[in-house]
Structure 1
Amino acid sequence: MEPSILSLLPPLVTIGLAIVTKRIIIALLIGIVLGSLMSTGWSVTGAAELIFEVVSGLVIADGAIAEEMYISLFVFLLGVLTSFIYIAGGTGAFAEWVTRRVRARRQARLVPVVVGMILFFDDAFSSLVGGNVSRSVTDQRRISRAKLAYLVDSTAAPVIILVPISGWAAFIAATMTGIFEDNDISEYTGYEGYLFSVPANFYAITALLFAIAVAVLGINFGPMRRHEERAASEGVLWDETRGKVPGETGRELPQRDDGRPRDLLTPVIALVLITIVFAVWIGVSRTNGPITPMNVLANTDVILALFYSGLLACVIAGAMLLAKRTPARQVGRAAWFGAGSMWVAVVVVFLAWVTAEIISGLGIGEYVASFITGDVALALLPAMLFVLAAFVSFSMGSTFGTFGLILPIAAQIVASTDMTFLIPAFGAVLAGAIFGDHTSPLSDTTILSSIGSGIQVIEHVTTQLPYAFICGLSSLAGFVVLGLTRNTLAGLAVALAALAVAVVFLRARTPRLQERTAPAGSAST
């Protein structure tokens, strides 16, 4: 179908149903059916063929196993690894060890922030592993899973897009290189374009700083306040009435009483180190030419490295269990329950990918972008590009898709009007894409953060939305000033000032919760 206002219907219906009914799988299925019918002129057979084609492409791409399958397999492996660590007694021993050192909820809230900054090289890795590692600490100090998921999500993509040696940096630099060549722009290389756009990525900067402020000051508002109050006073860390959360297998499995912190640390550290080694090895082996950090990052496959490292980490954790003379049948049962605990999560993230693929074919980006032309007032261009990228990313649930679609449009507008707006325009697009990714229930990063943190997707989305909007509005104010002054630092200063005002206001209105609490009861952990 031709891009039109009707292109917006499937994502709006899907997201609306997900938030209202809180049944994400049903909402995604309805979105897939509606989008495929619209794409094929309401042909039932055509829609079925389109869905089959999209699903097949997510399983096998270019004659090889698709990246999405490796992510799905890694999620299953993470469930197995979590289960192995649990029955080894590592989860409880590590939590007890940390609890003696992390005595206040403020310190516990900073754990996922620090972990997220350390795991800066891939968003899926940061979301899944950061949540799993941190929740053994935050659970003990009665931090709600909703707050944990917010902190994990806010130190995943925002950190990764700001770090110049991440996989995202390589992708964005490569995309900008192609855009510069297509538009005969020779002022910058692709990597320089990315580096100079970092200070103009107001949302990533404000989101990260706000997450730190929330962790340090204990700011709670919106639906998050109810979650935190129940966690602090009652030890209820998530809404148990909504059923099981991803990765929770403890109630079906026995736990050894001779567990040690190393039972958790050894497989997790192995997972991180093996991922780095594999990623570097793959990047070097695929690089034809000088072996530089950027060339290695551009040619590596972090997702493939993640799968292999997950497999080996499970082998290590399983071997440690057998070395303790844990019965092989019990190890096998733990693996089965661990993988099974992730089944619904994998279904949700896979359906989200299918939805995003079908929705992207409706031409949402092209339709919305058609409202921004070279005739637009240049002073409003950065703000408009931020809003445009945010809406497209929110609708599609894809940051990379938004980068690839909106960055060339921004370059074309700037090339035909005023080249001094090139870097601010790119910064606005990147910022908007991250904001849309943070607020969309279709985003894989959003879903993976909820999986890693052990909370239902919709609960994570609804509790994170108000926090994301604070940063989004602060960023929008900054982009308006940037356009008026043509000064990136002036725009950044306004964005940070607006965020500071919001922090002071929200801190004053946040009820004081007891910062030193007894560990959460076993019923909620």
Structure 2
Amino acid sequence: MDTLQLILSILPPIIAIGLALITKEVISSLLVGILAGTLIYSQGNVVGMVTSAFGLMGSKIGDNVNILIFLGLLGALVVIVTRAGGSAAYGEWASRKLTTRRGAALATSALGCLIFIDDYFNCLSVGTVMRPVTDKHRISRAKLAYLLDATAAPICIIAPVSSWGASVASYMSDATGMNGMTTFVKTIPYNFYAILTIIMILVVCLTKINYGPMAKFEKNAIEKGDLFTHTENVVTDDFGGGSKKALKGKVYDLVIPILALIVCTVLAMVYTGGGFSGTPFLSSFGECDSSFSLVLGSFLGLVVTFILYIPRKVLSFVDFMGGITEGIKSMVPAFTILILAWTIGGVCSSDYLNTGELVGNAISNSSFPVFLLPAVILIVAAFLGFSTGTSWGTMAILIPIGAAIAGTPQTQHLLLPIFGCTLGGAVYGDHVSPISDTTILSSTGAGCNHLDHVSSQMYYASTVLVCCFAGHILMGLMGGSLVVPLIVSVALLLSILYILNRMQSKKENIDYSQVKF
């Protein structure tokens, strides 16, 4: 019965993911997965299936309404800045300064690393700012989406002053009874996936390495100027409108709204965490309401933009308000997929099919050699994150289980490696899952077909995971040692990338004469 429960609990996300990969259509695939899950939950009752599905959907919208408001406000800000000519002015300035394809890719990645406060904010804001620059240098939208995604969660998960760091620290504090932030910081060097992903980004930006579906996307972009390859279901913010007025925009008409958004969001996080009421600065991030803070930050950023534009007549009042309406409309595709992704995650939650706990218990109750524990936790976290589309939920489930596994004298030396594997595996699963919110937002921010982003990123992320898996096995064999396994993992990554690039070059060589690399 336990085995049957486990199989049934993982069936809905497998159905949704399988259909999405086969049909190339996300919304219907998610709906089928949700209905399959609620049918299992209601034990074959069709009426119960429908009422459970849409009741859960309404509940998830209510629980996450601040994220939807934030996305609407951010979409509004994007359209307004675009209409004012701020993005165009920045694109022209950056195009003059960034004269090579390598420079455009590095600048995109660097900006992504700098905006580490929250992954949602990262994906959308960096994509908006850098898209005109990467388009000019014929960087495919799939490659841009990868750069956005790879500098979102992997950076947030090793940044103590972030919504991610604060949440993970609270999980660790509850699970171990130790200082959560101190434990989180100690875990960072053991998060091989985040570290190797950053190295992977540098290699991808500095070299001509392309393989898997990304090679086709890059070849079409470089040789034909086709940035999309596929144009179905692409979300962009090219709303046009007021092309003459766009000439009024200056670089600071983009920079000031973005800076205002960052500063106001940080201040809002401190405010909602009690930082203005005596709570220590770092602790206020741990206590903050991150989604509500994003709403406050984006609203204040919009207010600053209004004050910046209207008195100077960069935009008329009517155009400004029209931009708000247009921006909210632009986020409807993202709203739809996010709501469905949250719903199928709810189907897998403890209140319904209990997917996470069943998978977690299956691994914790099995007898594995001690040295394999970190590597096994890595794979379990990766599978769980992939199935549910949420790294936060995966970490919340597996951190207490990992702490329990490392609670015996035989395994206590593996506590930090197990935590590092949990965080890294969860982020990998989030990266390669079509139903992940950050994956959806990365394709949205890049204006890229969602499944093109998933299929191309899967090859890159999985390459990193394989190297991490080997490094964590070695770590287990060496009793939790850090330095040698990390060096071996990095060396393995570079070797695999070299081999894959040679194989891809023989199969499909790219003519770089059309661009200045």
Structure 1 residue 326: Cα displacement: 3.9
The residue aligned with 1:41 is 43
Equivalent residue for 1:56, pick from 47, 55, 58: 58
Distance 2:243 2:341 in 1: 31
- 1-structure distance, mates of 2:234, 2:499: 36
Where does residue 4 of structure 1 map in the other structure?
6
Query: What is the CA–CA distance in structure 2 between the aligned matches of 1:204 and 1:92, rounded to whole Å?
Result: 33
- Matched residue, 2:291: 303
Structure 1 unaligned segments of length 5 or more: list them: 61-65, 182-187, 520-525
SS in 1 for 2:348: helix
Counterparts of 2:306 and 2:27, CA distance in 1: 32
Q: Determine if contact 2:345/2:389 at 8 Å carries over to the other structure.
A: yes
Q: Supply the distance in 2 between the matched residues of 1:53 and 1:130 (Cα, whole angstroms).
A: 35
How many correspondences in the alignment?
A: 505
**2:101 and 2:516 in contact (8 A); partners too:** no
Partner Cα separation in structure 1 for residue 241 and residue 19 of structure 2:
32
Name 2:450's counterpart in structure 1.
Answer: 457
Partner of 2:138: helix, strand, or coil? coil
Counterpart secondary structure, 2:155: helix
Contact 1:411 1:422 in 2 (8 A): yes
Q: Does the C-alpha gap of structure 1 residues 255 and 392 become closer, same or farther in structure 2, counting only changes over 3 Å?
A: same
Q: Residue 284 of structure 2: SS of its match in structure 1? A: helix
Structure 2 residue 161 is matched with structure 1 residue 134: no
1:492 matched to 2:482? The reply is no
Q: Does 1:192 align with 2:185?
A: no
Contact between 1:174 and 1:190, CA under 8 Å: does it hold in 2? yes
What does 1:197-212 align with in structure 2 at a 5 Å threshold? Answer: 197-212=187-202
Deviations along 1:393-413, one digit per CA (max 9) or x if unpaired, are 110111111111112222222
Q: Which moved more, 1:485-494 or 1:156-165?
A: 485-494
The 1:515/1:132 distance shift into structure 2, 3 A limit, reads farther
Indicate the residue corresponding to 1:523 in structure 2. none
- Amino acid of the residue matched to residue 169 of structure 1? G
Contact 2:83/2:241 (8 A) holds in 1:
no
Q: Distance in 2 between matches of 1:516 and 1:306?
A: 41
Map 1:100-139 onto structure 2 (within 5 A). 100-139=96-135
| 1:315 aligns to 2:317 (yes or no) | no
Name the structure 2 match of 1:470.
Answer: 463
Determine if contact 1:438/1:446 at 8 Å carries over to the other structure: yes
- Contact 1:403–1:429 (CA under 8 A) maintained in structure 2: yes
Tell me whether 1:381 sits opposite 2:373 in the alignment: yes
Counterpart CA distance in 1 for 2:189 and 2:516 is: 42
Residues 347 and 246 of structure 1, relative CA distance in 2, 3 Å threshold:
farther
How far 1:468 sits from its partner (Å)?
A: 0.4
Q: After the TM superposition, which of the residue ranges 77-86 and 245-254 deviates more from structure 2?
A: 245-254
Query: Contact conserved, 1:439 with 1:464, CA < 8 A, in 2?
Result: yes
What SS does the corresponding residue of 1:170 show, helix, strand or coil?
Answer: helix
Structure-2 separation of matches of 1:98 and 1:246: 20
Contact 1:286 1:299 in 2 (8 A): no
Match of 1:20 in 2: 22
What's the offset of the Cα at 1:107?
A: 0.3
Change (3 A) 1:152 1:241: closer
Bigger shift: residues 386-395 or 315-324 = 315-324
CA distance in 2, matches of 1:253, 1:42: 56
Residue 249 of structure 1: CA displacement?
1.6
1:230/1:236 contact within 8 Å kept: yes
Checking the alignment, whether the CA contact within 8 Å between 1:165 and 1:297 is kept in structure 2 is yes
Could you tell me how far apart the structure 2 residues matched to 1:36 and 1:252 are?
A: 47
Shift of residue 434, structure 1, vs aligned partner: 0.9
Matched, 1:442 2:440: no
Q: Measure the CA separation in 2 of the matches of 1:151 and 1:406.
A: 28
Separation in structure 1 between the aligned mates of residue 257 and residue 81 of structure 2, nearest angstrom:
8
Are positions 1:272 and 2:268 aligned together?
Answer: no
> For residue 302 of structure 1, what is the amino acid of its counterpart?
S
Partners of 2:187 and 2:243 in 1: CA distance: 49
Q: Distance in 2 between matches of 1:497 and 1:283?
A: 42
Give the percent of matched residue pairs that are identical in Structure 1 and Structure 2.
34
| Structure 2: distance between partners of 1:51 and 1:338 | 29
TM-aligned CA distance change 1:218 to 1:291, over 3 Å: farther
Q: Does the 8 Å contact 1:106/1:515 carry over to 2? A: no
Distance 1:246 1:257 in 2: 21
Equivalent in the alignment of 1:225 = 215
Task: Give the whole-Å Cα distance in 2 for the aligned partners of 1:253 and 1:329.
Answer: 16
Q: Is the 8 A contact 1:397 1:441 kept in 2?
A: yes
Aligned equivalent of 1:411: 403
Residue 72, structure 1, aligned to residue 68, structure 2? yes
Paired position in structure 2 for 1:82: 78
Q: Deviations over 1:236-291 (max 9, x none)?
A: 2224531542423237976532322122122112111111122222223586xx63
Matched residue SS, 1:257 = helix
Looking at structure 2, the residues matched to 240 and 14 of structure 1 have their Cα atoms a distance apart, in angstroms, of 21
Whether the aligned pair in 2 keeps the contact of 1:246 and 1:344 (CA below 8 Å) is no
1:504 maps to which residue?
A: 498
Q: Secondary structure at the match of 1:165?
A: coil
Q: Displacement, 1:507?
A: 4.2
In 1, are the aligned partners of 2:231 and 2:449 still within 8 Å (CA)?
Answer: no
With the length of structure 2 as denominator, give the TM-score of the two structures. Answer: 0.92
Query: d(CA) in 2 for partners of 1:325 and 1:446?
Result: 34
1:95 CA displacement: 0.7
Other structure's SS at 2:293 match: helix
Residues 242 and 358 (structure 1), Cα distance of their counterparts in 2 relative to 1, 3 Å cut:
same
Q: What amino acid maps onto 1:345 in structure 2?
A: A
When the two structures are superposed, what TM-score results if normalisation uses the length of structure 1?
Answer: 0.90
Q: Structure 1 126/241 Cα, relative in aligned 2: closer, same or farther at 3 Å? A: closer
1: distance between equivalents of 2:251 and 2:389?
37
Give the AA of the match of 1:105.
Answer: R
Q: Which residue of 1 aligns with 2:227?
A: 237
- Verify the 8 A CA contact 1:389 1:406 in the aligned structure 2: yes
Structure 2 gaps, min length 5? none
* Aligned-CA RMSD value: 2.3
After superposition, the Cα gap between the structure-2 partners of 1:347 and 1:253, relative to the gap in structure 1 and judged at 3 Å, is farther
Shift of 1:161: 1.0
* Secondary structure in 2 matching 1:415: coil
Distance 1:167 1:331, change over 3 A: closer
Q: Which residue of 2 aligns with 1:514?
A: 512
Partner of 2:247: 257
Change (3 A) 1:375 1:352: same
Deviations 1:33-80 (A, max 9, x none): 1111111212223223322432232233xxxxx3x2121122222222
What SS is found at the alignment partner of 1:220?
Answer: coil
CA shift for structure 1 position 373: 3.0
1:292 aligned partner, one-letter code: P
Change (3 A) 1:252 1:472: farther
One-letter amino acid matched to 2:414? F
